[in-house]
Structure formats: C-alpha cells, structure tokens
Structure 1
Amino acid sequence: MDTTWTVEGMTCGHCAASVREEIEEIPGVTSVEVDHASGAVVVTSEAPISRDDVAAAVAEAGYSLV
C-alpha cells in the first residue's frame, strides 16, 4: 500500500535522509521515498499507517507534515 505525504522544510539530501530514517522506524513500513525538492514522501506499508504516526516521525526529524 502506497501513501503520499507532503513534508515542509526540507532543503537537501541530508534532510530527506533524516525524514526517511524516522519514517522507516514506523511498524509496518516497508519502504520510503523522499524528494526534498518537492517535499513528496511516498510511504509503502503492509497496512494503512496513521497520519499521527507519520507526523510524529517527521517532527522527530525536525520537519512538518503538511
């Protein structure tokens, strides 16, 4: 299952890596693709994941989920 989110504030590859690493820790997530230029984050998971879980992971990385 793929879900696309938008993250605000990323400016470089390091930003994208930080967001990816935090989201990958959410149980059930199998892969994460992050485009820092557009802010797009595609999360592939075994089952639906909650917006709150994604928002918390993004906040832990220092960014905001739109």
Structure 2
Amino acid sequence: MSSCCAPDGGCGTGAGASTTVTAVVDGTATVYRVSGMTCGHCETAISTSVGALDGVLGVDVDVAGGLVTVTAAGAPDDSAVAAAVGDAGYELTGRA
C-alpha cells in the first residue's frame, strides 16, 4: 500500500488540495475510518476508486478527520469499499 504523500504529510505529486463533491439524491450513508490520507490528491484518489463501485451514489472524503462517507443505493459492501480504498493506496480501518 502506498500513496503520493511524503512522510512529512506533504503531497508527493505536487497536487494542491481539491474538493470532490458528488451530488446525492437518496441512499444509505455509511461512514468509514481511513488511514493515510493527508492531501487533496488522497481525497481525489479515494473518491474516484470508491465512486466507481456498483451502487455507490456519492462519496464524501474528510481528509482532516480521516473519514470517508459512502452513500449507496442499498447497504454498502464493506469488503468492496475496503478493497477500493486499498486499491487507491490507503487503509480502511473500520466503520466510524
């Protein structure tokens, strides 16, 4: 597991902080704790990876709080969310 972030918490890609917001209509929101996020690139990587899962309607990433809120059409598949977070280079440590 690796990310773009340097050990000092800086972004190794030089990317600035960004905000990715996905509009959500109706669904079930589940909040997860994720470790290793430090910058806007982390936010984008997780939003893209988790957002590509079937049934996911929206993803909200709180880098500072270490939280990822996934809104899905039904109950989210925790193992699929964990795999998507892992594929992005981070670790899902459980539900918040």
Is 1:44 equivalent to 2:54 in the alignment?
A: no
Q: List gaps (5 residues or longer) in structure 1.
A: none
- The 5-angstrom pairing of residues 19-34 of structure 1 reads 19-34=46-61
Q: List gaps (5 residues or longer) in structure 2.
A: 1-27
* TM-score relative to the length of structure 2: 0.67
User: Which amino acid in 1 is paired with 2:90?
Assistant: Y
Write the distance in 2 (CA, Å) between the matches of 1:54 and 1:44: 11
Regions of 4+ moved over 2 Å = none
Write the distance in 2 (CA, Å) between the matches of 1:43 and 1:59: 15
* TM-score relative to the length of structure 1: 0.96
Whose relative contact order is higher, 1 or 2, with alpha carbons under 8 Å and at least 6 apart?
1
Higher radius of gyration, 1 or 2: 2
2:86 to 43, 59, 62: 59
Q: Report what 2:33 is aligned to.
A: 6
**If each structure's strand is expressed as a fraction of its own residues, which one has the higher value?**
1
Write the distance in 1 (CA, Å) between the matches of 2:35 and 2:86: 10
How high is the sequence identity, in percent, across the aligned residues? 42
Q: Report what 2:62 is aligned to.
A: 35
Write the distance in 2 (CA, Å) between the matches of 1:5 and 1:27: 18
